[in-house]
Chain A
Amino acid sequence: MSIQKMKKLRLVAIRSKKEELLRELIRLGCVEFSEQDTAGNEQAVRESSQLMSLKSQRTALVGAVNTLGKYAPVKSSLLAPTPEFDGEVLLDDSDIEAAMQVTATIEGSEDRIRRANAEDSRQRGIIESLAPWMKLDLPLEQDGTERTIILKGTFPVRQSLDAVANALRQVSEEAELFPVSDDKTAHYALIVCMKEDAAAMQETLRTFGFAAAAVTGMIGTAKECTAAAEAAIKALAAEKEEATKAIVAQAGQRDALKLAADKLQAKIAMAEAEETMLGTEKTVVMEGWMPADKEEELGKLFDAYDCAWEAEEPAEEEYPNVPVKLVNNKFTNALNMVTNMYSLPAYGTVDPNPLMAPFFILFFGLMMADIGYGIIMIIAAVVALKKMKPREGNLAFAQLLLYGGISTTLCGVLTGGLFSDIPKQVYDIVNPNGNWQGLWNLFSPETDSTLVLYGSMVLGVLHLNTGLAVNFSQKLKRGEVASAVFEELSLWIMLVGGLVWGSTMLFSGVSPVVGKVGLGILAVGTAMLLFGSGREEKGFGKITAAFGCIYNTATGWFGDILSYSRIMALMLAGGVVGKVFNTVAVMPAKNAGGFNVVTFIVFVLIFTIGHVLNFALNLLGCYVHDLRLQCLEFFGKFYQDGGKAFKPLKFEGDYVRAKEN
């Protein structure tokens, strides 16, 4: 509901108790350490830790877990909650050594597999390169006799081997060309000639595009070499299988490895905290932030460890450095999803969650507006909350899904949407002569689209003015009365004036005097706004400021309010797409004059696929567009972002988590 008040903590502890103190702090999880400046502090030096070696150990462990996942995959249930352990267990590092040994075994086996794979593809390459020479009985290493040389190589397909043979014979009578094989790209051939003619022969061959074959370094005929390579591949496969088995044999250690990895994560967090500290021979000095309401609890702990400590409220100029933690109840916590995605509020400003919550949830419901979809969302959210026991980000997501679902259901009741218009469509099939008009609705986006459009914009005006009101009160709090009056109050005066003036046009019988009064109020508001815009400018600057102000206010507000028409657009689009799917789904039944087994199956199939698609699309679309209305239009009116998140020293793992205190 608000931004947590923080206190700056300075603490000097006895070196021998440092580790124990850190273990207590990670369990409490409410102190963030900040880097200290060593400048001008000759006695103290930065504390060192084993951070690097811990990190590389953890990387190896995570690698081993992933390798296990690759060779011995386990199906994990999507809804399974993360395993929980006591803080005591997570801080006990006695079994990390054993886990590292398992990791070494797995890494060794994976390395064997990797090397075998490389060798395997090398052998396959050899087989491939030998394939054209299989018909050749000559050992491949044979490159000549006492008087002759033997050349093996390829000619491009376009060359005729007869022509080559003729040309060779012209160079030397004794030269002979033996074709070996052909494929799509080349002729493979063997050439025998006298040693003394070799140079001239090479010259002639080059003109025909001859390229020497890449079969050097092999002993025996092509057949023998291929057989040897095949045998090697077989041996490699056995080697790979053996290594894979060795990895799979460690599958039982998976949970132990995961636990060890997260134990190391805790050690890494503590090491990182250590590196922010300064130390002398006997003491360590730490600095950081803690929530003001934890001061008493932490104070007792610090006293028990004989620490010298102080906690003070941050001065205003320190605010940019104060970490921000939002304190929310069950309802507003859901909106952390939005706030975290955008940017946290600056320390000392307002927490947007409680302001945003009612609007976000209402807008979402209006855009989705379907009883069926809403109930699915509620069920999904309740199942996730009960089974997964989510925390932090996932908790906010599940809560938002739940509230969004409730709101979607209620708005669905108002618009009469249940999987679009399925009750009516099915009724028409079952009861062709009936004249039921479908579910009751207060308004339907299809028939009352203009009303819904204006309604969306009215909601927008309310939303924007809430933002304006927040800014107004913030300014008053900071003592910027003039700015609040000229920039916010003036707009409200204009709004009231405009409404009064407009009432004469909307309702007949209102006295024209009322209209004039309205115009008067509007003029006063405008004058205030213009005066306000130029009050810090001089001379000609006042006039340009006034024009700029008119332009910005008019276009800004116009654009902002029109933007809320997306509420109507999404409400209508979801309904229309769903309706078309329904129409297609009941079409076979309609043509057959009623449901039978086939038409019913077709109906269920098309209905399910269509609505799954429409639901997923709407869920995403409504969330994103709701997000935009909050972050762009609403936040634009008052929000000061830029807070950095409070990151206390606490258990944070990928696989397991600590039990909550």
Chain B
Amino acid sequence: MENILMTIGGKAIAMMGAALAGALACVGSAKGTGITGEAGAGLVSEDPSKSGKVMILQVIPGTQGLYGFVIFFLAFLKISAVDTISLMQGGQIFFACLPIALGGWLSAVAQGKVAAASINILAKKPDDWSKGMIMCIVVEFYAILCLLASFLMLNAITL
């Protein structure tokens, strides 16, 4: 087992973490904004004047992708600054990337569902649409915590 890992090398393992942080969080955001966009397109087809507000609701689940990219970027900067990374350090970077990879992915999908439901509020009670936005931001907080968890761990790793 250790032999296999040694062949892969610490750097590759670290990169796998960075890749997951970037990719999974973006997958989540794509799903989240996608669900909201579908619901939003339905509303806009009835009432094009609401497209601005629909867009705001749609971009809300997009932030996880951004957070994932932030962690990817920080990890990548760390990785590319040195030539070799030990297996142990590679593993550390890998695990540091996991919170935003998983949390970003799943929270974006969950947030997308709330945002899509909020499109209903916008359609039926346009004056109260900001309440839907607030519900979305509640989900956002957990993505922020995941971002911080990843960030603090990454910060603690010295190569």
Q: Which A residues lie at the B interface, using CB under 8 A?
A: 446, 449, 566, 569-570, 572-573, 576-577, 580, 583-584, 613, 617, 620-621, 624-625, 627-628
Contact = CB atoms under 8 A, between A and B. Distances in A.
B140 A577 contact: no
Nearest to B149: A569
Contacts of A569: 141, 144-145, 148
B138 A613 contact: no
B148 A620 contact: no
Given A580-B73, A625-B141, A573 B155 contact: no
Given A446-B155, A576-B70, A613-B66, A621 B148 contact: no
Q: Across the A-B interface, give the 3 residue pairs with the lowest CB-CB distance, nearest first.
A: A624-B137, A580-B70, A573-B144
Interface of B: 63, 66-67, 69-70, 73-74, 77, 133-134, 137-138, 140-141, 144-145, 147-148, 151-152, 155
B25 to A, nearest CB: 13
5 contacts: A573-B147, A580-B74, A613-B66, A625-B141, A628-B138
- The secondary-structure label for the interface of chain A is helix
Quick one: which of A446, A584, A624 has the most chain B CB within 10 A?
A624
A636 B110 CA distance: 28
A576 B151 contact: yes
B151 A617 contact: no
A584 B73 contact: yes
- The secondary-structure label for the interface of chain B is helix
B32 to A, nearest CB: 14
Contact of B151 (A570, A572, A584, A628): A572
Given A446-B155, A580-B70, A621 B140 contact: yes
Nearest to B140: A621
Contact of A577 (B70, B133, B137, B152): B70
A86 B128 CA distance: 31
A68 to B, nearest CB: 14
Nearest to A624: B137
Given A569-B141, A573-B144, 13 more contacts: A446-B155, A569-B145, A570-B144, A573-B148, A577-B67, A580-B70, A583-B73, A583-B77, A617-B63, A621-B137, A621-B140, A621-B144, A625-B137
Contacts of B147: 573, 576-577
Nearest to B144: A573
Contacts of A613: 66
Contacts of B63: 617
Quick one: which of A566, A572, A580, A583 has the most chain B CB within 10 A?
A580
Contacts of B138: 624, 628
Given A583-B73, A620-B137, A621-B140, A572 B148 contact: yes
B134 A624 contact: yes
A620 B144 contact: no
Contacts of A580: 69-70, 73-74
A573 B151 CA distance: 9
A620 B141 CA distance: 11
A572 B149 CA distance: 11
Contacts of B69: 580
Contacts of A624: 134, 137-138
Contacts of B74: 580
A507 to B, nearest CB: 28
Contacts of A625: 137, 141
Given A576-B147, A580-B70, A620 B133 contact: yes
Contacts of B141: 566, 569, 621, 625
Given A566-B141, A573-B144, A624-B137, A449 B73 contact: no
Nearest to B150: A576
A577 B138 CA distance: 19
Contacts of A572: 148, 151
